Amino acid sequence: MIKKISVLLVMIFTGSSGFAQLNPKETAKSLVKVMVSGSGKANICSGFIWQQDDWVVTSLHAMKRGGRVEVQYLNQYWRDAEVYKVLSKSDLVLLKVDLSGANQLPETVKPITSYEPNGAAFDEPLYAQGYHGGADGHRTQKMSKGDANPETLEYVVVKKETKEKLNNLGFPKIDLPIYYLNGSLLPGYSGCPIYNKQGKLVGIGDGGLEGGQVNVSWAIPANFLNELENSNTASLPATIDNAGVLFSAVVEVNISEDINKNVESYEAEIQAQLDQMYRSYGQGDFQFYQTKNRLFTEMLETSVDPENIFMFAEEFEAYNVALNYDQLAYDIYEDVNHGMVIAVPEFCELVYDPVNQLFQADLSIYGDNQSYYFGIMYGGYLDEDAYYEDIDMAADEILNVLNSTYGQAVGGFTEDPDYSYILEIDDNREAAYILYIGNENYFDDNGTELGLQFYLTVLFENNKLFYTLATIVMPVNELGQALQLGIDCVNNTDPNVETYCDYFEMMLTVVGASHLTTFANTQIAGTRK
């Protein structure tokens, strides 16, 4: 029986397969959490025990000059450590942990003593085990080996500015051989062990590089551990303090200035920040993890194709609407099961609708008017029967749903050709951006004349469909009067003008939230069809 999208578009993706010979409970005995504190901040990342109980490998970029290094074993035992060996070119550090005397571990841990010498093959399932957002507990995230040729940082990182920053940082080396990953390493996964299905270590989580809503993620091949062991230096690079500008898979939080403070006393103040910074929402087969908070302008800089957003902004300017773009921000979430990234207006909760099996952004924090005029929903669908032949067919199905649900009130919808196009990301992935405009206005129960528009983004990958739909209700007469006078939201002091500023800023925010929906680990521009 062919499954179709329901009234509000069904979100049903099948679960992923098991871990075969990999036993996460066993590999967890090798996993550690690392905290490096100093100057009122702490970096938190993952690591693993290598060769012996007191040797820990993690990412060099998480270190701080003069910082205090502490390692947590088995989710509970904190021990002091020091930098023992450094391999700058591969962004690796070997820590020596103090397990002497009273610091001996009361429970048995399990050092990793070998790695897979053949590395990882294209499309091979890989499993990163680490501490997302510095959480109290760890989790295992499924990824896969991507395709890149040559497979070095120089060719994986395509943005000129990022290459320049990496060159200036000096590590890792720009010509370093790496494993390009499909799927993003979450904040806190820097330094984590990455295994194949057989439970063999194949790499060490290193990227991503900060890239707006998405990150460029890779792993350091495990064979560099031999060079790390044989390194004859324990000195941190002179540029180590600049590493945080680039890397997004390490967590940074504010802490008290007292570097001699006992690590357990940090936990409450750190955990409160982490709970706010890295929330998660899981329903069905979707598991959205918050990865960052970014300004609207930062998102535009890294969008695969930001032209539609610029066109909206230019239209506002043509009507003498000057918006304060610095007020607009998003919380960015990634679904770790299927590699979709969504932008949610800052501070809004994701609310799951079990009837229609989709997520919605709760805009009520911005006031009743905003939640009345605007809406954002996020959903997906696994096309098990290959019903959808292409992305056009999927978009048409969504339009059919909109017409059957809302079309009668507005005389159906027309696609705006200026804002509607399909972008071919690569051979397997496409994105469609479509603006639907109601053909007629309608009146609400208070007699207010309203227009209705929907901005839709659809992602299509093989048999997977994901979408974000932004709803825009327009009070026609009120907006017409405001636009005739012009609106200055940058230098505004008039509370009446502020109401209109809130409206237009939210309009751009919800359109942006839809448009910025994208595939994880995508930093290349696509081709318009």
Task: Give, for all 529 residues of the chain, the pLDDT tens digit.
Answer: 233 443 333 332 333 334 448 999 999 999 999 999 887 888 899 999 999 999 999 999 999 998 899 999 999 999 999 999 999 999 999 999 999 999 999 999 999 999 999 999 998 999 999 998 767 788 888 888 988 888 887 777 656 667 777 788 888 888 899 998 887 787 889 999 999 999 999 999 987 665 555 567 889 999 999 999 999 999 999 999 877 656 766 777 777 666 556 666 666 677 777 766 677 787 776 788 887 788 888 777 667 678 888 888 888 888 888 888 888 999 888 887 777 889 999 989 999 988 888 899 999 999 888 889 999 999 887 766 767 788 998 899 889 999 999 999 999 999 999 999 998 877 788 999 999 999 999 999 889 999 999 999 999 987 788 999 999 999 998 888 777 778 888 887 777 788 888 899 999 999 999 998 988 765 555 567 6
Does the domain made of 279-528 have the CATH classification 3.40.1000.10? yes
C-alpha to C-alpha distance for 14 and 12, rounded to whole angstroms: 7
Residue 18, CB-side half-sphere exposure with 13 Å CA sphere? 4
Nearest Cα to 223, choosing from 46, 42, 87, 388? Answer: 87
Which whole-number Å values give the CA distances from 422 to 74, 193, 429, 518, in the listed order?
Answer: 48, 38, 11, 13
CB 219 within 8 A of CB 276: no
Q: What pTM does this model have?
A: 0.72
- 494: its two tokens: 């008039």
Q: What single string gives the DSSP state of each residue in 486-523?
A: -EESSS---HHHHHHHHHHHHHHHHHHHHHT-EETT--
C-alpha to C-alpha distance for 390 and 529, rounded to whole angstroms: 13
What are all long-range contacts of 101-109, with beta carbons under 8 Å and residues at least 24 apart? 103/79, 105/53, 105/73, 105/74, 105/77, 105/79, 106/77, 107/73, 107/74, 107/77, 108/29, 109/29, 109/30, 109/49, 109/53, 109/73, 109/74
Which whole-number Å values give the CA distances from 513 to 300, 303, 344, in the listed order?
Answer: 11, 11, 6
How would you label 363-399 residue by residue, b for 16+ Cβ within 10 Å and e otherwise? beebeeebbebbbbbbbbbbbeeebbeebeebbebbb
Does the domain made of 24-264 have the CATH classification 2.40.10.120? yes
Domain ranges of the chain: 24-264, 279-528
H or E segment to which residue 315 belongs = helix 307-318
Which whole-number Å values give the CA distances from 391 to 200, 257, 422, 460, in the listed order?
Answer: 38, 54, 8, 6
